[in-house]
Amino acid sequence: MRQETRREMILSIALEMIAERGIAGLSTRELSRRAGVSEALIFHHFRTKVGLIVAAARSGDTLLSKLVALTKGPPPEDLGAVVDTVTAEAVRRMAPGAPGRAFGATMMSDDPKIADIRAEGLLLFAQARTALVDWMNQTPRPLRHGGTAAAQTLLEGVMWRLATLPNDAEGWARTAPDSFADLALRWRALHLED
């Protein structure tokens, strides 16, 4: 198996385990067993457990990775459609049991055992925010308050909703779509010029 393929497989299984147990429950010993590789190979690819988790957050099925991917394309003609996409992705990627939910919970945790991971997660969040601001500032459609305010409002709205929505899958499915649709409408009213 090629090195890159093996690395992707390890990341994929790590994301599954994070979705099942949360970040604090990720064991490199269990990961090596599930992936059929040695722990030494995991540390060869990622150096540390924190490095593994950060790589998973950057490459995996998370909202931040989706935001960064969005900003790699040309500036959008319609930022309202982008906000609709981001909020729909938040519903899908931050649901209970999704890896993104575990990353979000880690960023809000004050557990000293995961302080390094939280710090790296906050750095990734800041990088995604900066990329989103730069990208929004390039749009041909004017923003009422500029890209910085628009990106900040969007990301704060997403984080607030994540903190206030139910943690069970049934409650999430019942309330999250409407809550994020409301966020998209409020964002449009606040930031898009008529």
The tens-digit pLDDT sequence of the chain (194 residues) is 677 788 989 988 988 888 788 777 889 999 999 999 999 999 999 998 888 888 887 765 677 777 778 888 887 778 888 888 888 888 887 888 777 777 766 666 677 777 777 787 778 788 888 888 888 888 777 788 888 888 888 888 888 887 788 878 888 889 999 999 999 999 989 988 76
Q: Are 71 and 82 in contact (CB under 8 A)?
A: no
For residue 107, the model assigns a pLDDT of 66
Q: Report residue 14 as tokens.
A: 């790590």
**What pLDDT shows up at residue 73?**
83
Q: Is 47 left (phi over 0), alpha (psi -120 to 50) or beta?
A: left
pLDDT at position 1: 62
